[in-house]
Amino acid sequence: MSYSELHCSYRERGSVAASCARLLAAALLLAPLGAALADTPLPANINAVLEDCQRANGNAPRYKMAGCLQEKLADADAAVKKADKLARQAVNVGSSASPQALKSLTKAEHAFRTFRKAECQRRGNAMLGGSGAGDIQAACEAWLTYWYAAQLQQN
């Protein structure tokens, strides 16, 4: 039995039953979230993103990596968009707490994008102007975006 089911069965008295029904409805809406995004694997780390693009490019010139990394970021952004939509549907169930949950989701996404930009810039700058700095930064953005999509699936 899940926490939501346990919590509701314990509290299910009078008007609490309606809030429990909304909570269980939200849990049921979130259940397909993981399945919907299961085709978007979370790379183990930034190097895994880079290695995947290196394998895909074979012996092509190194500048071709940028295109692959941009495709990875686009795929990750699409996964976030899908996860965000499902997460919004899950919390928008008519509860008095729904507006705050939606605001928190928006605030978290803005904070994530700010963090992603700063963290990946830091990682690129840590290359001290090396030729792979742009690749590291792009791979970082893709990896963190995949990570964020996975986080949205969690809750």
| Tens-digit pLDDT profile for residues 100-133 | 999 999 999 999 999 999 999 999 999 988 878 9
Within 10 Å of residue 11's Cβ, how many Cβ atoms?
13
Interval 54-86: pLDDT, tens: 999 888 887 888 999 999 999 999 999 999 999
Task: For residue 20, give both structure tokens.
Answer: 């429990």
Helix/strand/coil for 132? coil
Of 4-18, 60-74, 88-102, which gets the smallest average pLDDT?
4-18
Task: For residue 25, give both structure tokens.
Answer: 């409805």
Distance CA 71, CA 78 (A): 10
Q: Considering the entire predicted model, what is its pTM?
A: 0.72
Cβ contacts of 146 within 8 Å, gap of 6 or more: 40, 41, 42, 43, 76, 79
